[in-house]
Amino acid sequence: MSERVDWPGTALVVGCGLIGTSVALALSVRGTTVHLRDATPGVAEVAASLGAGSAEPPGTAPDLVVVAVPPAAVPDLAACLLREFPSAVVTDVASVKAPVARALGGTADAVRFVGGHPMAGTERSGPMAGSALLFEGRPWALVPVDGTSPEALERVLSVVTALDAAPVVMEPDEHDRAVALVSHVPHLVSVLTAGLLAVAPREHVELAGPGLRDVTRIAGSATGMWLQILDSNAGAVAGLLRSLRGDLDRVLDALDAGGDVLAGRLSDVLDAGRAGTRRIPGKHGDAVTVSNAVVFVPVDDRPGVLSALMADIGESGVNIEDFRIDHEYGRPVGLAQIEVAAERADHLTASLAERGWTPYR
């Protein structure tokens, strides 16, 4: 990372939240002169103090303008910035792309505009949460509008690649259907499931295990941004949710019918779900491999225990594909879940047992 970029020599980042500040940091470390602007007084200065660039207006015309404001404000502001900087390529980072494509597509300035959407973020927001590394390895959708020039697309593509993200060029509507599928509908489903817990008896919720925590984790996110996202992608989200409701109704029919009807229909539904999980890109961008195995190791909740465990895994020579800790209900103990290539799991288990752990599979 941090290889210097030839272009843009000068960039203006408008909106210094998590994403804007992260773009500015990532460009700054690669040698671009970055200027920062934010509607809220003091925010650009905070980002500047983190090394994201200068809070002063650019002295020369910027080559690139990045619009990193909340999604609802993007279409009007992008149009305004295209007029303010008539030689700049302008891109944005809003998570829904049809509104800006509708606003700018077919205009004279569209030649210099490329929609963008980095698939990155954290639960935190604001410039303090920014990081030059936020986009490393993440998909970054690039969405030309009606009239975008190949040169502008090529420019933004080169920037995204330099930021170590994985660019994916898409049509606006296709992008919005895709994020409804992989982000907006899963978010609502997680929220609705968690919502059932809000009104349930405490004794029921106390039986919760890791599966429920997985399903509901993203439902803990802040509300404000999600309202804008769902508002601006309401059509695509509603379309998929209706499809999901159709599937849900078929499950309800099967549950009511019972017996062979239940078994037949639900087994189709369960099989479709398994097939779906196998399509999610896993490590290294491949489909999730089924040839990994998980070794479980109970660990005490003391400083240094995980360090000792990792050292012993290192000694075994087995590479870790994935690693999680699940905390146990009601006691200060955790369960480490070490995912390794299936053919290495026995070796790891034996190696850890030799070193005094109590691994199991």
State yes or no: residue 318 binds a copy of itself (CB under 8 A).
yes
Among 161, 245, 350, 354, binds a copy of itself (CB under 8 A): 245
State yes or no: residue 73 binds a copy of itself (CB under 8 A).
no
Among 3, 83, 150, 203, binds a copy of itself (CB under 8 A): 203
Among 60, 83, 150, 202, binds a copy of itself (CB under 8 A): 202
Among 103, 111, 157, 320, binds a copy of itself (CB under 8 A): 320
Torsions phi, psi for 160 (to 5 deg): -60, -40
Considering only residues 293 through 312, tell me which ones interact with a copy of itself, judged by CB under 8 A. Answer: 294, 296, 298, 301-304, 306-311
Nearer to a copy of itself, 102 or 124 (CB): 124
Stretch that binds a copy of itself, among 30-38, 58-66, 108-116, 225-233 (CB under 8 A): 225-233
Contacts of 314 (CB under 8 A, 6+ apart): none
Nearer to a copy of itself, 109 or 174 (CB): 174
State yes or no: residue 3 binds a copy of itself (CB under 8 A).
no
Nearer to a copy of itself, 147 or 210 (CB): 210
Stretch that binds a copy of itself, among 62-70, 80-88, 153-161, 246-254 (CB under 8 A): 246-254
Closest to 338 in 3D by CA, of 357, 350, 322:
322
The burial class, CB within 10 Å (0-12 / 13-18 / 19+), for 115 is: buried
State yes or no: residue 83 binds a copy of itself (CB under 8 A).
no
Considering only residues 126 through 145, tell me which ones interact with a copy of itself, judged by CB under 8 A. Answer: 128-129, 131-134, 136-139, 141
Among 249, 343, 353, 354, binds a copy of itself (CB under 8 A): 249
> Is residue 126 within 8 Å of 224, Cβ to Cβ?
no
State yes or no: residue 205 binds a copy of itself (CB under 8 A).
yes
State yes or no: residue 40 binds a copy of itself (CB under 8 A).
no
State yes or no: residue 41 binds a copy of itself (CB under 8 A).
no
State yes or no: residue 212 binds a copy of itself (CB under 8 A).
yes
Among 196, 343, 353, 354, binds a copy of itself (CB under 8 A): 196
Stretch that binds a copy of itself, among 101-109, 145-153, 155-163, 248-256 (CB under 8 A): 248-256
Closest distance between a copy of itself and the C-beta of residue 291, in Å? 14
Among 166, 173, 341, 347, binds a copy of itself (CB under 8 A): 166
State yes or no: residue 153 binds a copy of itself (CB under 8 A).
no
Interhelix angle 234-257/172-179, rounded to 10 degrees, is 40
Nearer to a copy of itself, 6 or 278 (CB): 278
